[in-house]
Structure 1
């Protein structure tokens, strides 16, 4: 069985860049798969378009259900087969995003969102989660300056993004063994160094 590593954080926290750097490092000794949520396979990418299209308006419950549906098919068709082949899966967002964004920031609660996702993912939680902790104001400025993908969630007021970070902070306190917090306010090289260190320590602890 492989290792399932997810990457979480607010908008602009640098997940894509860090995942690429981690993948380049791990490929020296391991087989890997890089994927993302929502997305990763055609059906999930279609759901991603619905979720992130700026002209669409939907309530938090609809968001949560669509994310869970996308997560289920992505897990079954892409993540689990890779894990069964012994690969290290690096996934940009997973269940913790739903807990932070819909559960906490939308005010729907951790427990209801967890139950929806428990139905979707069964027992397949990440083995390790890297939480790139960042001031949301800095993250939104980074996204604007870097001209990266702009989506519906970027249009939320700053207090929404602050609640997202609060949600992630609470999750990291609740699951300290699984979620490793990395200071993403540092320069990218330092963030990558700390992330690789956390991952290599975890892999060594598994005896792999």
Structure 2
């Protein structure tokens, strides 16, 4: 599904990651872990082509990621970075926005479906009608994860999705991610509970 072949990333004229090779199978839930500053987030961002390796190649379903294939990969990918802002005034607008695109219109969820996902993630129903500035960082992370799931993408990329969550919410998020049976999930995390629960544990470090 996702093949990293002999990747090297250079930052400030120094190698951030060298000669990394790994293959992640379709539907697998894989976590990147290890000390900071060794290229985990960079590797994650390379899958949709936001960062390009200085050496090596990336293949998605056997096709090399390049200028001719990157848009196709991005259409199949949900990306949740560690830091992000909410560009819409209300949570309802935020949830509905991606489903206004023609490619996603057939997947638009009903309010009832959204609230069912809220329950699974431990989110209060009242959040649906709140303004974006009124919710916490942990609530924001879970809502964005829910949107990624509802879009039914083949690849889900998560960068530290539990940095603002309490233990109960972390357990819910772990179960939620594992319920995405068809999706290939690649996540960066330092949380031992996530690392222990994933199919593949990929250490990135010295």
- The alignment's TM-score, normalised by the length of structure 2, stands at 0.33
More strand by share: 2
Looking at CA atoms only, which structure, 1 or 2, has the larger radius of gyration?
2
- The alignment's TM-score, normalised by the length of structure 1, stands at 0.33
